[in-house]
Amino acid sequence: MAIVITIANQKGGVGKTTTCRELAYIWGKQGKKVLAVDTDPQKGLTLRSPVEEDKKKTLKAVLEGYIDPEEAIIKTKYYDLIPGDKRLKNSSSDFSISEDKAALKDILSGLNYDIVLIDAAPGDSILYDMSYIASDYIIVVADSSPEALSGIAEMYNSVERYRKEGLTHASFLGSLMCRVKMAFGHPSNLYIDRYNELSSLIKDTIKAEPFETYIRDTDNCGTANGYKMAVNEYNKDCCAALDYMKLADEILKRIHDISGKEV
Amino acid sequence: MEDFKILTEEELAALTSSQRRDYLKKKKEYDNKALVHGTLAESNDDPAPVHKVVSERKQAGRKPIPPDQKKQQIHLTVEASTKRALEEFAKRDYARLLSRYIDNNLETIMDAMKRIY
ipTM: 0.80
Cross-chain CB nearest to B17 (options A65, A67, A68):
A65
Q: How would residue B88 be classed by pLDDT, with cut points 50, 70 and 90? A: low
Residues of A with CB under 8 A from a CB of B: 63-68, 94-96, 99-100, 103, 106-107
* Candidate from A66, A106, A107 with C-beta closest to B20: A66
Q: What span, in angstroms and rounded, lies between the C-alpha atoms of A97 and B16?
A: 12
For residue B51, what pLDDT is reported?
42
B8 contact A CB<8A: no
Number of residues assigned to chain A = 263
Per-residue pLDDT for B99 more than 90?
no
- List % helix, strand, coil for chain B (3-state, nearest 5): 80, 0, 20
Q: Which residue on chain B is closest to A103 by alpha carbon?
A: B18
Q: Which of B8, B12, B18 to mutate to test the interface with A (most CBs of A within 10 A)?
A: B18
**Cα gap A15→A180, rounded to integer Å:** 11
| Sequence-ordered list of residues with C-beta below 8 angstroms from that of A11, at least 6 positions apart, any chain | A122, A142, A145, A147, A148, A150, A151
What are the chain A neighbours of B23 within 8 Å (beta carbons)?
65
Among positive and negative, which fits the CA dihedral B32, B37, B38, B42?
Answer: positive
Q: Average pLDDT, stretch A249-262? A: 92
DSSP, res A216 = B
Q: Which of these ranges, A128-142, A151-165, B33-47, B64-78, has the smallest mean pLDDT?
A: B33-47
Partners of residue B22 in chain A, C-beta under 8 Å: 65
Residue B44's pLDDT band (cuts 50, 70, 90): very low
The amino acid sitting at A181 is K
Name which of A177, A143, A170 is nearest A155 in CA terms.
A170
Neighbour tally for A259: CB within 10 Å = 13
Whole-angstrom Cα distance, residue A50 to residue A209? 34
Helices B106-116 and B67-104, packing angle to 10 deg: 80
- DSSP-based three-state secondary structure for B50: helix
CA of A84 vs chain B CAs: smallest distance (Å): 17
**Cα(A214)–Cα(A244) distance, integer angstroms:** 8
Length of chain B: 117
How distant is the Cα of B57 from the closest Cα of chain A, in angstroms?
Answer: 27
Rounded Cα gap, residues A62 and A64, in angstroms: 5
Distances (CA, A) of B88 to A50, A190, A255, B101, B112: 18, 49, 46, 20, 31
Q: How many CB atoms lie within 10 A of CB B76?
A: 10
**Does A94 contact B16 at a Cβ distance shorter than 8 Å?**
no
Question: For residue A86, is pLDDT > 80?
Answer: yes
Which of B16, B21, B78 to mutate to test binding with chain A, by most A CBs within 10 Å of its CB?
B21
Do A263 and A114 meet the contact criterion of CB atoms below 8 Å apart? Answer: yes
Least-confidence region, from A12-16, A239-243, B40-44: B40-44
What is the arithmetic mean of pLDDT over A58-63? Answer: 95
The phi and psi torsions of A169 (rounded to 5 degrees) equal: -115, 25
pLDDT of residue A27 exceeding 50: yes
Q: Quick check: A65 and B28 CB within 8 A?
A: no
Backbone angles phi, psi at B50, to 5 degrees: -60, -45
Sign of the CA dihedral with A225 first, then A140, A244, and A134 last: negative
Q: Which residue has the higher pLDDT, B91 or B53?
A: B91
The more confident residue out of A210 and A93 is A210
Among the partner-chain residues A94, A96, A103, the one whose CB lies closest to the CB of B21 is A103
Compute the nearest-CA separation of A180 from chain B (Å): 35
* CB proximity under 8 Å: B 53-92 to A: none
State the count of interchain CB pairs (< 8 A) between A and B: 35
Residues B2, A32: Cα–Cα separation, whole Å: 41
Output the pLDDT for position B43: 41
pLDDT at A149: 78
Mean pLDDT of A148-161: 86
Give pTM, 2 decimals.
0.76
